[in-house]
Amino acid sequence: MTNIVNDIREAKTALGIEFGSTRIKAVLTDSENKVVAVGGYTWENKLENGIWTYSKEDIVNGLQGCYAALKKDVLKKYGETLCGVGAIGISAMMHGYIALDESGEWLVPFRTWRNNITGDAAQKLTALFRFNIPQRWSIAHLYQAILNKEEHIYKIKRVTTLAGYVHSLLTGEHVLGVGEASGMFPIDSGCLDYDAHMAESFDMLLRENGLSYTLRQVFPKVLNAGENAGFLTAEGAALIDLSGTLKSGIPLCPPEGDAGTGMVATNSVLKRTGNVSAGTSVFAMAVLEKSLSGVYPEIDMVTTPDGSPVAMVHANNCTSDINEWAKLFDGVLKAFGKEVDSDTLYSTLYKSALYGDKDGGGLLPYGYISGENITQVQNGRPLLIRKENASFTLSNLMRANMYSALGALKIGLDILFSKEGVEIDVLNCHGGFFKTDEVGQKIMAAAANVKTCVNKEASEGGAWGIALLAAYMNEDVSLSDFLENKVFNDSQTKEIIPDEEDVLGFQKFMESYCAGLDTERAASDI
């Protein structure tokens, strides 16, 4: 306790803030890189005029709310008023599109990763670059706006992501970490910058459409892990801390996306390591030993926060529909006069999945709250199909829902592992899907057919990961050495080896999942 108090007083700490899909989280770490205080703020995206978005007010309120909660936690635990920290890092949901004018004002509402509105642009750019450009990527959003001849494209001075936008509010700097930048535009890992040939090709498209700016003029400058990305301004400090006690001048690390912070929080930046983050969306990442042989729409090519090539499979939907089922069951309990806290409700439902039939008992759910790129479903239409002789039990429903949450991901993983022969030694897991002990981890092992691991520390997620990247600015070793020797050297882990019957059951479920996709696509048109 004394050491932590001294670290707080002497600012030997790091602050990490991550804007997740449903929760904004702040963590404070001490000089040993351990989490000593946390703060949170709940928010939710909105579907407005056909666009999934968050407002500027949502972003600022969330930033202030999570920091206030963190500050309160510090005062309660240690009797100290948080006035300064050693370093700050900002992270957020990867991808998306924030277009800014000369004064820094939004030109259009923030378009998040969840939107499936850039199909034409993504297809054209993939063909032009011979490199997969997913619909979520910022460059796809920009080019789609150009194809749509939207008025705002002529006023653009900057294009960034949510992490980059918040970072600019605090520092005035238009920069991104290389991992987050790799979800805006393809990166050349050799020089840790946007691919020069592809950038020239896109600049030609800009000129053909009468636009005077170039890609590099409007996209953020790319920085590597460990580099300084600016300092907290007086305006930035006042924006975070409404009480006015937070001091300016604090260094910030390059802003990163949740993919990069997930890799850091699970110690998955070396070759042959992989990680999966499963919550509102789900994505799995494998750090590659060699390039893939082909271009696949199901697989993004991104980088680690220090620039190594990574294959990422990203699915838009994971636990959101499971949450809806949990609300339904909570309503049933309340109708009978029973009150059950959220943690107990979720853990009970998740644990019931372990007693279900290995193949889900003939139940076929699609938890598509939004469209799904991998399976080519345009709009969100949650659906439950069951055979006439299905075993419609709670255990089977929960098991099938958890299988389905990984269904689109599984299609991409099969390309990586079976077709491309990518090998990883372990898949490190974090996110709400894995909160209940063993359940999500066991089902993930069956889906990937690889050993899964959950680190106790990883429960703090990407907010801890970006705090570690902030702390890394003071190190003179490689990122992997820092993580291995100064962060995870005494970590507590739980490993699960795939169960053969679970693997076969998941494969049988996937046969039905793939066969039923035409039905889901038809429902998408309703």
Secondary structure (3-state) at 281:
coil
Q: Kindly state whether residue 2 falls inside one of the protein's structural domains.
A: no
Q: Kindly state whether residue 509 falls inside one of the protein's structural domains.
A: yes
Q: Kindly state whether residue 508 falls inside one of the protein's structural domains.
A: yes
Q: How confident is the model at residue 430 (pLDDT cuts 50, 70, 90)?
A: confident
- Taking only the tens place, the pLDDT of each residue in 57-103 is 999 999 999 999 999 999 999 999 999 999 999 999 999 999 999 99
User: Residue 170: which of 101, 233, 262 has the closest Cα?
Assistant: 233
- Which residue blocks in 251-319 are alpha helix, DSSP H? 258-265
* The pLDDT of residue 55 is above 80: yes
C-alpha pair distances (Å), 517 with each of 32, 275, 368, 481, 491: 49, 27, 11, 44, 41
Residues of the chain with pLDDT > 90, as a percent, come to 91
Measured in whole angstroms, how far is the alpha carbon of residue 47 from the centre of its chain? 19
* The pLDDT of residue 456 is above 90: no
Q: Kindly state whether residue 337 falls inside one of the protein's structural domains.
A: yes
Q: Kindly state whether residue 380 falls inside one of the protein's structural domains.
A: yes
The CA distance from 122 to 94, in Å, is: 17
Q: Kindly state whether residue 30 falls inside one of the protein's structural domains.
A: no
Provide the domain count of the chain. Answer: 1
- Tracing tokens 């390309």 back to the chain, one arrives at 415
Q: How confident is the model at residue 116 (pLDDT cuts 50, 70, 90)?
A: confident
Q: Residue 337 belongs to what domain range?
A: 320-405+502-524
Q: What is the pLDDT of residue 458?
A: 63
Q: Kindly state whether residue 383 falls inside one of the protein's structural domains.
A: yes
Q: Kindly state whether residue 120 falls inside one of the protein's structural domains.
A: no
* The pLDDT of residue 6 is above 70: yes
173 neighbors 230 (Cβ within 8 angstroms): yes
The structure's pTM equals 0.86
User: Residue 406: which of 447, 454, 362, 434 has the closest Cα?
Assistant: 447
Q: How confident is the model at residue 459 (pLDDT cuts 50, 70, 90)?
A: low
Q: How confident is the model at residue 457 (pLDDT cuts 50, 70, 90)?
A: low
Name every residue whose Cβ is closer than 8 Å to that of residue 272 and which is 6 or more positions away in sequence: 287, 289, 423, 424, 425
The DSSP secondary-structure symbol of 487 reads I
Number of residues in the chain: 526
